[in-house]
Chains A and B, each alone.
Chain A
Amino acid sequence: MSIAFATIHELRKQLLAKEVHPKEVVESLLDRISSVDSRIKAYNYLHPERALESAEKADVSLPLGGIPIAVKDLISVRGEPCTCSSRLLEGYIAPYDATVIERLRAAGAILLGRTNMDEFAMGSSTENSAWGVTRNPWDLSRVPGGSSGGSAAAVAAQEAIAALGSDTGGSIRQPAAFCGCVGLKPTYGRVSRYGLTAFASSLDQIGPLTKTVADAGLLLEIIAGADPRDNTCEPEPAPSFSTKLGEEIRGMTLGVPKEYFVSGMDPEVEAAMQKAIAHLEGLGAILREISLPHTPYSIATYYLVATAEASANLARFDGMRYGRRAPGCNDLLETYGRTRDEGFGREVKRRILLGTYSLSSGYYDAYYLRAQKVRMRIREDFLTAFRDCQAIVTPTSPMPAFRLGERTEDPLQMYLADIFTIAVNLAGLCAISLPCGFTQAGLPIGLQIIGPMRKEETVLQVGYAYEQSTSWHTLRPPLG
């Protein structure tokens, strides 16, 4: 079997035993990429020479020594482009490393390339990319989810051992569910955002996309922890998240929110979910119905808060200092207008307009301020729920991967794809998505396990117990 098919844990064993050399790992991945990526288009760009060079001098004794990692194209890597899949950032070369990149380097990881995404992380299908769509490895006519669709597809298609994504409203978990891999959104403040191009600063978190739960824990351990360059990052060092892997979940109470079993959910997803619940009960967990009464408001709340923050975060992209500037403009206003009109895609413009509107004088109280209040209620819902359970289980997405173009004309339908993931960001919690079955057509279905703030070890423990007693994670897409 190709080295590219290995997990981080498997590869580490082989590297330490000197059964493989880091260079062979990189070469194997490059081979895999050249044979499948023309169909998937998971990567925006690769750095074969640089990756091979790092492989030559890799120190395999380090926690990620010699392991290639793919990085979503919105995290700053010194000397590399960071396009955020936007035309506006064409030509920009980042002059600094994000904190997570520094930590990957210090852990010995090899940076292989940059993965595709929805422009500025705005979208749920990776169709909003200036560089073209990424396809779902399980069905090339379907989307990989988004916005970290490139990272999820790369991991699922065995074009990456693991990848980093970012999650603002489900952008790690939803593509992980669509592509049949594992995606972890850490607690807000767990991982430094320094170097992550901001979409919505109070919601964004960087997290791992991996082939297994154990790999997600390992990768999170490397990137998490205090960072003086991010004021919102937790000041304490990150604990070891993997300590509870393998501990049984017998007697643990898991909540099942009744509001998450809504009409309109895909019946195959619902059936898979019921099976997963029964399976967890079989492992000794106590499943209990809980209520998160403010759930119906989460999408509206999210689209007010996230777009407001985005409208300011994206103001800096004006072509003045870096990136693409519209040519032939006669004055300042025309330069701003045309640069941003030509540079941003439709969804990005829509969200900037929404956010600008909700912050405008006369509307602020009714929209932004009200949304912040509802956000507090959503957070309180979870705090109350977590008095009675240690974790919450839900489907990651109400439907499996949809067809390319199916929802692009109806933004509201697209926004509904994130209905089960958004509240987790609004409440600042941690959550993992892992495979829990397939549809008859062979599309993966994701199980989401939500934990209280700073309880990553719990969601990893439950996820690991489920994963190790099922075989979904061993299935691979039919790519040849």
Chain B
Amino acid sequence: MTYEAVIGLEVHVQLKTATKLFCGCRNEFGAEPNSRVCPVCLGLPGALPVPNEAAVIQTILTGLMMGSSIRPRAKFDRKNYFYPDMPKNYQISQYDQPLCLGGEVSLPVLAFPKDAQKEPQALAGKKVRLVRIHLEEDVGKSFHLENCSGIDFNRAGTPLMEIVTEADLTTPEEAFALLTTIREILRYGKVSDVDMEKGQLRCDVNISVRPVGTEAFGTKREIKNLNSISAVRRALKHEIQSQIELVSSGGTVVQETLRWDDARGETIPMRTKEQAHDYRYFPDPDLLPIRTEGRLRTEAERRMPELPETKKSRLRETYGLSEYQASVLASDPPLADYFEKAARSTRNPLTLANLTLNDYLALRQDSPDPMSIPPEYFGQLADLVSDGTLNSRQGREVLAILIQAPRPPKEIAQERGLTQISDSQVLEEFCREAIAANPKSVADFKGGKAAAINSLKGFVMKKTRGQANPQRIHELLESLLREP
């Protein structure tokens, strides 16, 4: 019997807000422990929460970006359990009236891990439905030292958004693609930086297996608190395999909550069903219900960006870019914006895209502020390359100079003598010289070795210090060699 996995995700995302969810403390990472705290986020007697509208708006915006229904009335609830990193021993969350219900995320092929993109047809068109998106407060962080433990409450009370999916995923690769896609959408909405290093995206996964072709779900197990997209993929792969092994050898899966040890590549049990918490949710009497209609929703709508998929297809259609080019540009919205500005100054956006993706990105890495090149210069440079004034190597050279000191690219090319030789008469002279000087290559070519022409081309390039138009040389050499 063959089995398939059924996977659902709960994705926790730290929102990018100036202050925490229920108090005025700064929401920032890496500050001195317990320096971003106040009576409210420390849960001191008498302190009361007041919702941060920015976080509510960002959650609504996320819902809009993911096609959720924004609920006109939402509320906050208390989720009760004891843990030292949680100051009030209850977490303010949303239980039965979250801000957003439903929604859907389409997985683009390029969001899958590279090694899984070999059969793009099999991956295309996958959609994952969302159950809900809600807002809650994060907890503090425990540190266990040799003889004692400490807690840093800087993170306590920071806004955390939870995106819950339906169990629509069947492979670790789809989970990987979903998280990659969600990350891109959230960055587009400027809702979160989704920086894994800073724990800005954490994920709980629910997994069960069932025989292919059956409908009923198997018993699920949950792996908590995975903190990177690749760890989610590894943990899922491991868990699916172990559940299939268990079931196919006649065993049964027991409902359980697990922790993933990424270094060892194994899961560790946390608690069983019998030990499951009863969170005793009830509406938080300190907080009024949230009415989203009106100002909150309008503000979220105002901030609605062009979405990644829309941008990709627009880039493809407007500039004739490939799927890959459009995806790479769209994955970096400031770069895409820059590209579009520069495209206004060129006749050949495809050359501009090549320059951007091949040369500009490489050069940008060791340059402090590459965007300082005025976009029209970048566009003009693309024209110089596409009309053959510069070859691609020369184009890159001019680009490097442009990054240092922006000037019209034509000036730079002339000053450095970096114009491509395309004049056929001049080039023919060099080609004849090459033929005369390399009888062996000529003989090889005539003997049927087409590649032998390359050493002749190399000779001409060397003689012209790289300024020859490679396309023209190729054509000239071929016609000269074919002369009787």
Contacts and interface: CB of A to CB of B under 8 A. Distances in A.
Interface of A: 74-76, 82, 84, 89, 92, 94-96, 98, 193-198, 200-202, 228-232, 308-309, 311-312, 315-318, 320-322, 332, 336, 356, 359-361, 364, 368
A359 B95 CA distance: 14
Q: Which of A197, A321, A336, A364 has the most CB of B within 10 A?
A: A321
Interface string B269-283: 000000000101110
B45 A312 contact: no
Contact of A94 (B44, B51, B80): B44
A316 B48 contact: no
B88 to A, nearest CB: 5
Contacts of B50: 228-231
Given A315-B88, A316-B87, A76 B49 contact: no
Contact of A76 (B46, B80, B282): B46
A92 B45 contact: yes
B82 A312 contact: no
Contacts of B278: 360-361
Given A232-B286, A316-B88, A194 B46 contact: yes
A194 B23 CA distance: 12
Interface in B280-299: 280-282, 285-288
A229 B89 contact: no
Contact of A196 (B46, B49, B84, B151): B46
B290 to A, nearest CB: 10
Interface of B: 39, 42-51, 78, 80, 82, 84, 87-90, 151, 278, 280-282, 285-288
Contacts of A74: 45-46
Contacts of B88: 312, 315-316
B280 A315 contact: no
A309 B285 contact: yes
13 contacts: A82-B45, A94-B45, A95-B44, A96-B44, A98-B46, A198-B45, A200-B285, A201-B285, A309-B282, A309-B285, A312-B78, A312-B280, A359-B282
A321 B80 CA distance: 18
Given A315-B82, A361-B280, A195 B87 contact: no
Q: Which of A92, A96, A315 has the most CB of B within 10 A?
A: A315
Contacts of A228: 50
Contacts of B90: 312, 315
Contacts of B84: 318, 320, 332
Contacts of A308: 282
Contact of A231 (B42, B80, B281, B286): B286
A312 B46 contact: no
Nearest to A372: B283
Given A229-B48, A315-B82, A336-B82, A95 B39 contact: yes
Nearest to A308: B282
B285 A318 contact: no
Contacts of A96: 39, 44, 47
B45 A315 contact: no
Given A201-B286, A359-B280, 19 more contacts: A76-B46, A95-B39, A195-B46, A195-B47, A198-B286, A228-B50, A229-B50, A308-B282, A309-B282, A312-B78, A312-B280, A315-B82, A315-B89, A316-B87, A316-B89, A317-B45, A321-B87, A322-B44, A360-B278
A231 B51 contact: yes
A193 B45 contact: no
Contacts of B80: 311-312, 315, 359
A75 B286 CA distance: 17
